[in-house]
Chains A and B, each alone.
Chain A
Amino acid sequence: MSEWQPKILAILCNWCSYAGADLAGVSRMQYPPNVRVVRIPCSGRVDPLMILKGLQSGFDGVLVSGCHPGDCHYISGNFVARRRFAVLKPLLEFVGVEPDRVQFSWISAGEGERFAQVVTKVTEDIRKIGPAKRLVKGA
């Protein structure tokens, strides 16, 4: 068997982070192939249930990324999202899920390089903590 590879769910907003990922791709930047991307209209659309469902169905980590504060295509979607994540993250840690399992970032459409860096870092963080066991159905 080959070495374990983390499987990471990346939920990216359509206007910034997804475009950033696109730029990383067309610029032929190297980043770990561990992320599976789901495109959503806005980080404000991210329901914490999506993140938990990701963990439950076997992803080792979840990365959520949206536009930088102030750059939201819908003016304030990411501000509302930020409050939501601000509560979700400590709550998950409170129940005992590893802090690095779920991560958030802001990546603009021009930051292809940053996207590659973020994915590299998240992949490394999750590789360090190992396969997800908590909140995973059937684990």
Chain B
Amino acid sequence: MVNELREAAGKLLDDGKVDLVIGWAKGSLPLASTPVFISSSDEADQLVFDSTCGNNLTVYFTKDNKKISRDRKKVGIFVKGCDSRSLVLNITEKQLKREDVTIIGVPCSGVIDTRKVRRKAEGREVLEYSQDGDTVTIKGKEFELSVPLEELLSNACLSCLRKDAEEYDLFIGEPRKFSGESDPYSDIEEYENLSADERWERMNEEYSKCIRCYACRNVCPSCYCNVCFVDQNDPQWIGKTPEITDTMIFHIIRNLHIAGRCVECGACERACPMDIRLLYLNRKVAKEVRERFGSDTGTDLDQKPAMADFREDENQDFIMG
């Protein structure tokens, strides 16, 4: 597959269809890939795709990194299913034009959460990582383990229903269609069934780890305000210290800002240096949006963002009678 991927990118560049291709290359660590920007076909052999390619590359069309794509007219980008939904969302929100981007889909079988790998290795350093079908081999000094990929997958991938891009110009291999409705929110329902005290305690435990580095926000292609509400200082709405209420309010509001816009790619959770289970909030919001407004983010180029839309006869059971 890797060869096809490199050929496809090289051909697009050679034919002048794109000036730049954004993809993944092998990283400096066994468990990491790294985003790469390719502008000529002889660099295309850096490109890879495997289960370490967790970055949602659509982020490079947003924030200041937009500059990369702004300077070039036509950009090609490799996408997993979730990344393509981010791209579609950004197109519907007029952040970029469909005709300026060449979308190249890659078949995704989920990406790993490095923390889960570390847990499997019981704290020992992982020095080699290889994958053969659904089995992953991790090696370190004096140990070697074979683990089913499933057990290492990012939480976001475990509930993913649309693994492959549905909006693309080119697909490497054969795209699988929407896998049909199953119950993707069973983990959230389980959490909802806990008592309020327990939920509050767990949330406190998670968010007290936050160091306010904003890695979650910055890797998110849906978070692209010129000035984020936490960075506003006149007036300053919330404190910038890792004090627990400020931290929780930051995360709650960030999740409301991406309500109906989150594609549940899980990039935020994988980026978090403090191992916070960020997706609980994202997925709770996504669940509400899906159940109440029937909207599936990033699956339709003509879609109106759920929170900018309404129906007059909507359920309003939460409003006092």
Contact = CB atoms under 8 A, between A and B. Distances in A.
Given A48-B256, A135-B245, A104 B318 contact: yes
A70 B255 CA distance: 28
A134 interface: yes
Given A95-B252, A105-B320, A69 B200 contact: no
A136 B253 contact: no
Nearest to B253: A49
Interface residues of A, number: 39
Say what secondary structure dominates the interface of chain B: helix
A52 B318 contact: no
B197 A96 contact: yes
A135 B285 contact: no
B227 interface: no
Contacts of A84: 256, 259, 307
A92 B199 CA distance: 11
B237 A83 contact: no
B192 interface: yes
Contacts of B229: 49
Interface centre among B201, B284, B293 (most CB of A within 10 A): B284
Interface in A90-128: 90-98, 103-106, 118, 121-122
Given A49-B229, A91-B285, A105-B319, A86 B197 contact: no
Interface of B: 191-192, 196-201, 203, 229, 237-239, 243, 245-246, 248-249, 252-253, 255-256, 259, 280-281, 284-285, 288-289, 292-293, 306-310, 312, 314-316, 318-320
12 contacts: A53-B249, A70-B312, A82-B314, A83-B293, A83-B306, A83-B310, A86-B288, A91-B288, A96-B197, A96-B199, A105-B319, A137-B243
